A and B are shown apart, each in its own frame.
Chain A
Amino acid sequence: MSRTPTTLDLPALVTDPATRIVVCCGSGGVGKTTTAAALAVHAAEAGRSVVVLTIDPARRLAQSLGVGELDNTPRTVPGVGAGGGRLDAMMLDMKRTFDDVVHAHADPQRAAQIIANPFYQSVSSSFAGTQEYMAMEKLGQLRAEADRTGRWDLIVVDTPPSRSALDFLDAPKRLGSFLDGRFVRLLAAPAKVGGRASVKALAGGVAVATKVLDKLLGAQLLRDVQTFVAALDTMFGGFRERADATYALLSEPGTAFLVVAAPERDALREARYFVERLAHDQMPLAGLVLNRVAQPGPIGVDRALGAALQLTDGEESGAAERAAAAALRLQASVGALAARHRAALRGFAAAHPGVPVAVVAAAPTDVHDLEGLRQILR
């Protein structure tokens, strides 16, 4: 049985009008942002109106996209879309996105109260899932704007480099379940508890828990949480509805998930986990993008090494012979790396034979301008 995976045609995917959202996910350092930007540039140059949401782009890449400043607003990228298309780019500001959600759901006085709360400040700027949640929140906003104004027909999103794979799928639920959780609700409104015996028993547990956490964390933290949750109470429905809506949006057929990976053992192991998790959640996976794959030279590793040896064997080997031998030895090193990359890809294909793969060749230098981004899908 062949272990060669089906080829994933990235240009066809992003130029297909049926594709409305592309989500690039993968572990840190595999080139997610670059891939997202390259796909967006390609689609825009093919005539589509595209917005790309980046999370934490490299400085020069951000500059080349015109999003050097973190201002949470899509800006049109100059020099893209000669064929009638357009590319807007933005960089996520998670704190500001969270503040916007609060403002959208609470009256000005209550919003101000929430935003001033130290617990809110901490959750909105450093809680482990906030960036993921806000990335999804922003995606929901961009999609709503696209539907309302017709400004974009394709949204490309980069996802945060998560501690664990697919945090961005879990984070909205996690934040929602925290805000809606029994413990927090009981903390916030102990007076409301009563009546049924099971609730009473639970309240007893909460009293113990509160006492212990008071001792362990200090009473101030719990008081801040209580104030925060009380102020947020009216927003519960809003948060959960939005999280559910975004989750539903992700599972629509117009969405394409791309798992981005590097051809290394660890990154591919993560990629396999991503693929399995997406399948489990019935999310539409388009395929795997394998970045930085070393390309073998025109001749085999052993033949190249043998030829290099022959070339420098003679007493009178000249400059051209030495240069050829050096380049052959280098090609042999790269060839060995390429063989390892191919083996890693075969391992992936054996585990997930149905997942199409797009292989992106390793480039000697970093990509940080539009021309470099164009080259990726060429």
Chain B
Amino acid sequence: MTPSPDRVRLHVVTGKGGSGKTTVATALAMALARDGRTVLLVEVEERQGLAQTLDTPPLGPVERRVADGPGGAALWALSVEARASLLEYLQQFYRLGRAGSVLEKVGAIDFATTIAPGVRDVLLIGKVFEATRRTSGRPHPKGTPEHYDAIVLDAPPTGRITRFLSVNEQVADLAKAGPIHSQAGAITTLLHSDQTRVHVVTLLEEMPVQETVDAVAELREAGLPVGAVVVNQARAALLDEPDEVALLALADGTIDVPAVADAVGSVGIDDPQRVAGSLLDTARGYRDRLDLEAAQYDLLEQLGLPLVLLPLLPDGIDGGALAELADLLAEELDPEPDEDAGQLDLPENGLAR
């Protein structure tokens, strides 16, 4: 039986630095913001990566509508700040107006948000948690949606993701009581539930794949639900199959270089010998790259997770490219519920552990 894809409320996107996790998170949020759905895209590292990717002014600690989708769908985005979240908490729990500024003055806010271990992460995830729990009737920031159908978190990189999501363990050791402690418990329950999926973005290169394999093992060890592995910038997609076969024949020496030189000379290219030599180098580089990608792909397949392949886009990431990636991700991670379930790599199905 296929559970409804709508059951996943929180998509956590991690990946090695440079793998394009912010781009993938943004594309995934765009994919989800279709058919009238309301989606929140969140970053927690105060890097303004989402604003850059979406080509919009810098985001703040209150969510802002950044794009409209078909059928009344809307994409909202937010850059969570630990300091703002703490002050919001204090206001909410203690009605602290002036006391908040006293805390600020003596360095207590700095202390709690930067030094007290784990507290920062709890505050950051706490804001995401609040958004997942939002239902009509509950208090929420003025002018923001009453309810989000899905939330996409542009999370810290693979090296830190498990620690980031294991808030309860960190906080339980240190803050043994208080609202931060009790909220950490509720957050842990959400993160370990069927409503959450952690997706790992990688490149088909040795180090990112190694980090992905390590991160998946750590996430599983911590009991966090791993979703899909998104392979970004896959080079293999640059050529179609007949071209690839022809190229590999050149790389392997089945076709000799003088024949290629004759061919390029026949269409009027200058210095055909030199060009043919460079074409041989190109073919060999491509073959080596394919071999490397294939070996890394095998390693990823052994994880037993759905793999989503996104092509390298030579023109870079702009609005059109994001939409293209969104289409690919929508197919894999957010399929139409009516489609043949057997064809779908639903994260819900692929989680044999």
Contact = CB atoms under 8 A, between A and B. Distances in A.
B108 interface: yes
Interface of B: 16-19, 22, 45-47, 49, 52, 89-90, 93-94, 96, 99, 102-103, 105-108, 110-112, 114-120, 156-157, 159, 163, 170, 173-181, 205-208, 210, 238-239, 242-244, 246-247, 249-250, 254-256, 259-260, 262-264, 266-269, 271, 274-276, 278-280, 282-286, 288-289, 292, 314-317
Contacts, number: 245
A28 interface: yes
A58 interface: yes
Contact of A322 (B238, B246, B264): B246
Interface string A252-281: 000000000010111101000000000000
A206 interface: yes
A126 B164 CA distance: 10
A123 interface: yes
B115 to A, nearest CB: 5
A178 interface: yes
Given A164-B47, A218-B176, A364 B286 contact: yes
Interface residues of A, number: 79
Contact of B112 (A213, A322, A327, A333): A213
A319 interface: yes
A323 B314 contact: no
Contacts of A331: 278-279, 282
Contact of A220 (B175, B255, B315): B175
A326 B18 contact: no
Nearest to B15: A29
A324 B268 CA distance: 13
A183 B174 contact: no
B238 A333 contact: yes
A10 interface: no
A365 B103 contact: no
8 contacts: A29-B16, A29-B18, A56-B159, A164-B45, A178-B111, A220-B177, A225-B116, A323-B249
Contact of B102 (A27, A209, A216): A209
Contacts of B19: 29
Interface string A295-320: 00111000100010011000000111
A164 B46 contact: yes
A325 B243 contact: yes
B114 A326 contact: no
A323 B16 CA distance: 36
A324 B276 contact: yes
Given A330-B282, A365-B288, A122 B103 contact: no
B269 A218 contact: no
A208 B108 CA distance: 10
Contact of B210 (A59, A225, A329): A59
- From DSSP, what is the main secondary structure of chain B's interface residues? helix
Contacts of B269: 299, 303, 307
Nearest to A127: B117
A181 interface: yes
Q: Which residue, A60, A218, A297, A327, has most C-beta atoms of chain B within 10 A?
A: A327
Contacts of B175: 216-218, 220-221
Contacts of B256: 320
Given A265-B316, A364-B285, A326 B17 contact: no
B289 A327 contact: no
Contacts of B106: 182-183, 186, 202, 205-206, 209
Given A183-B111, A218-B181, A340 B315 contact: yes
B263 A126 contact: no
A216 B208 CA distance: 38
Q: Which residue, A58, A181, A297, A323, has most C-beta atoms of chain B within 10 A?
A: A323
A264 B20 CA distance: 10
Given A178-B110, A216-B178, A328-B264, 12 more contacts: A123-B117, A127-B115, A206-B106, A210-B108, A212-B108, A217-B178, A297-B278, A298-B274, A327-B260, A330-B283, A334-B282, A340-B315
A107 interface: no
Interface of A: 27-30, 56, 58-60, 118-119, 122-123, 126-128, 161, 163-164, 174, 178, 181-184, 186, 202, 205-206, 208-210, 212-221, 224-225, 262, 264-267, 269, 297-299, 303, 307, 310-311, 318-331, 333-334, 336-337, 340, 364-366, 368
B108 A183 contact: yes
Contacts of A325: 243, 246
A266 B112 CA distance: 30
A127 B162 CA distance: 15
Given A127-B115, A220-B175, A311-B267, A326 B243 contact: yes
Given A29-B19, A213-B108, A299-B269, A320 B282 contact: no
B260 A208 contact: no
Given A122-B117, A183-B111, A323 B264 contact: no
A205 B101 CA distance: 10
A58 B159 CA distance: 12
B102 A122 contact: no
Contact of A326 (B93, B108, B246, B288): B246
B255 A319 contact: yes
A58 to B, nearest CB: 4
Contacts of A56: 159
B239 A330 contact: yes
Contacts of A336: 314-315
Given A212-B96, A298-B278, A219 B174 contact: no
A217 B262 contact: no
Contacts of A181: 107, 110-111
Contacts of A182: 106-107
Query: What 6 pairs between A and B have smallest CB-CB spacing?
Result: A28-B17, A29-B18, A320-B259, A29-B17, A327-B279, A326-B243
A211 to B, nearest CB: 9
Contact of B314 (A206, A210, A321, A340): A340
A118 B285 contact: no
A71 to B, nearest CB: 20
Nearest to A61: B207
A368 B99 contact: no
Q: Which residue, B105, B106, B120, B256, has most C-beta atoms of chain A within 10 A?
A: B106
